[in-house]
A and B are shown apart, each in its own frame.
Chain A
């Protein structure tokens, strides 16, 4: 799973590179859109779900289940649809790399 996720990121980087140069900090910037609820760099406070250090494949899987409706949600099923699968993979890998 881990290898597949990284491959997907590489493929995405290659694809998007042909159309528009990808920012070197794109994953960081995308992950920062989650911080309002899930803490700076995924270090959540209070009862919010912590994302820092979560395995990338687990985040990707959960997001896919929110997207399909397989996993019930109050709000995440609506938010996840605003991001492409490639963006979710970048975000997941960024959070996985946080200590």
Chain B
């Protein structure tokens, strides 16, 4: 990227960060649902689930609090909720003519999308921090060392990037505001069909097969191991392969769509 493009990206990112700061509800609502899930599963279903999790199916995770088991999945749900607002902002910029205005100016194409992506990352990381804060209050403790914490942050940023570029696709291709936001519902639902809430071993045949082969499980298992300070094993490479593959695909589709939409 040229210095001009960097300058333009910075100016447009500041603009869209102002949107987030001026409607703080975007950060609050992003955190509210995951926190509600956290409370519901730990305090309402937790007792019943804990018995299952601590049984032989959970393997080495015996003895840890259910909130420790649950948090990685909740963090993914937080990211999925957060990117709905990214799709919303991209859609509104297209509808409101802002993208067209930028296109008729002598600036590069890339900053228009990157500004939204960087803003999305900033907003999601803030929401994640809020959710982790609540989890700590509920008794969440991590055994991870500095390297482990960095790895956890890295994976979360990578997942946020993947879902953000998916959100850009949704924002660019949606015909209505509802459509732009609705894409995030399946993403929010996906962790339920994974090892995020209960071990996959407790699920019936087809559900178990799906849960064991979908990306959320490998991401959640890696995060859980890292947070517990345990060896991660091969699962992390599966998780990274999913993320990088999805990122390349989503980014390519988004850029092609953007070219087609605005030339």
Indicate, yes or no, whether A interacts with B. Answer: no
- Interface on B for A, CB 8 Å cutoff? none
- Interface on A for B, CB 8 Å cutoff? none
